[in-house]
Amino acid sequence: MKRREFGQLCASMAAAASTGTPLALASERTSYPASILHTDHNEQVTASSLEPGTPYLFFYPYISTPCFLIDLDIETRAGSSNLQDQTGEAYKWLGGVGPKRSIVAYSAICAHKMSHPAKEISFINYRHDPVTFYNKAGKTEQRQRVISCCSERSVYDPVDGARVLAGPAPQPLAAIELAYESDTGALSATASYGGDMYHRFFEKFGFRAAIEHKVGDPAAWVGDKTKIRKLSEYTGQIIKC
């Protein structure tokens, strides 16, 4: 990264922290300009184009903040239960979208130490197959359809708003609101809600993210389109535990 670009990065991050932009918001629903999900070939992603049980990766609302897109292949409902961020503020999950309300999106930044997918390796992953873990009661539990972070063994339930099932994570993963067009099946990202990690992420990983994404400002809006790809096509090694 050039010295001038590094200066721009530091300035933009300092400005975001001092002006109270959406980077600093936690559990309030934060609307962002809509970003249409599209493929490498610039084709619009539709609900029917997703492989059920396969984790996809896209970036939203910022150019370097990763998110999971998953067709869970089972129906999920809005407001199934109250969730809380780490400050104790409650919010409701909006549920999945699509013909079966099975398509969900979450921030792929772990709520514990912000482990996230990188090009070299990812310790956080969606597991459609059964995973065994120690739940919050200290008992062995086995579940499929979980998001598992192998850094410190935090486990989240994407069927229920990414509620924490196990491990040290202090809150659910932030949810990404999806807009679904029933006539075309097209999907767009429109908002983030729950306790997001964006501000902390830029403080800790902003410099590295700028290098990895080859941008001067990793906190820049991703744009009106954001590309998705399978997680396995983005990262070199996916850790399972």
pLDDT at residue number 107: 98
pLDDT at residue number 79: 67
| Cα dist from 206 to 155, 159, 215, whole Å | 25, 30, 10
At the topology level, CATH places domain 3-118+173-234 in Rieske Iron-sulfur Protein (2.102.10)
pLDDT at residue number 125: 97
Residue 37 near residue 69 (C-beta atoms within 8 A):
yes
Mean pLDDT in each 10-residue stretch from start to end of the chain (241 residues)?
41 38 51 94 92 98 98 85 86 92 98 95 96 92 96 95 96 96 95 93 95 94 96 95 90
pTM, two decimal places:
0.88
pLDDT at residue number 4: 41
Q: Which long-range contacts (CB under 8 A, 24 or more apart) does 129-137 make?
A: 131/155, 133/165, 133/166, 133/167, 134/166, 135/165, 135/166, 136/164, 136/165, 136/166
pLDDT at residue number 1: 42
| Cα dist from 33 to 120, 121, 146, whole Å | 30, 30, 29
